[in-house]
Amino acid sequence: MGYTARGCNDAWRKKTPFHVFGLVERITNTMNKKQLRTSLRRARRALSAQQRRHAADGLKRVALAQNLLLSCRRIGFYSPTHEEMNLMPLLNHALWLGKACFLPIVPQRFQRRLGFSRLTPLPRWYLNRFGIHEHWTPRPVRAWQLDLLFVPLVGFDEDCHRLGMGGGFYDASLAYLRRRKVWRKPLLVGVGYECQKADEIPSDPWDMHLDAVITERKIYWAKKKGQTCVTG
């Protein structure tokens, strides 16, 4: 492809403050979700600008080494906030490979199901009500139409349980997966820094379960999960 998501990437970099709050504390399984969010976000904010850049490049290398994009045609990414792992290097590589790449669209107030907008050569960016960049489209798609979906997170454990921000958007958008035993789309891959790993993430019945988590160092696969996308 002859274009990249540079507009969004540049805007993200301009608004990104970086601070160091000190050493990362040990995250234990005695914490509740609120305490975990506080500790894990503190650990994430403590990363320097250089560490964040190296982590984004490292995540891209891990994804490509594991052929994570290979069999997936329609891939959902996200526009990173100033704290989250920057997926733009991987997204731009996916565009170069000719993949159809999508970004989430936050619904109107009191709604929870996300739509997804396909990136085009002439993108139309705007800020949503949370100050996150979105790409306008007249025809958003739903999560079940994607082959692979990268999901931001605040924390995770080695069993691929996810701790989010608490808004419930991804849980609501992917709730249909709890009723499906076969033809489960998309492949759900959480994205975070290695410092966001906890001993154990508390799980509620409505929480979605990830198929894998990718960091700058490795991919953690959920038990009994194959490493392929379901397409078609």
Q: What is the CATH number of the domain that holds 111?
A: 3.40.50.10420
Count of CB atoms situated within 10 Å of the CB of 30: 8
Contacts of 33 (CB under 8 A, 6+ apart): 163, 166, 202
Is 228 among the domain residues?
no
Q: What angle do the packed helices 88-96 and 49-65 form, to 10 degrees?
A: 40
Is 157 among the domain residues?
yes
Is 1 among the domain residues?
no
Is 230 among the domain residues?
no
Yes or no: say if 112 and 172 are a contact pair by the CB < 8 Å rule: yes
- Check residue 18 and give its pLDDT: 30
Report how many domains make up the chain.
1
CA distance 109 to 112: 8
Is 227 among the domain residues?
no
Is 111 among the domain residues?
yes
pLDDT range class, residue 27, cuts 50, 70, 90: very low
Write the DSSP assignment of 118-153 as a string of letters: E--SS--EEE-TTS-EEE--SS-B-GGG-SEEEEE-
Task: State pLDDT tens for residues 39-49.
Answer: 999 999 999 99
Is 232 among the domain residues?
no
Yes or no: say if 116 and 139 are a contact pair by the CB < 8 Å rule: no
Residue 132's domain spans which residues? 6-221
Residue type, 37: R
pLDDT range class, residue 20, cuts 50, 70, 90: very low
Is 102 among the domain residues?
yes
pTM confidence score:
0.82
Task: State pLDDT tens for residues 104-144.
Answer: 998 878 777 899 999 998 878 989 888 888 989 989 999 99
CA distance 88 to 9: 6
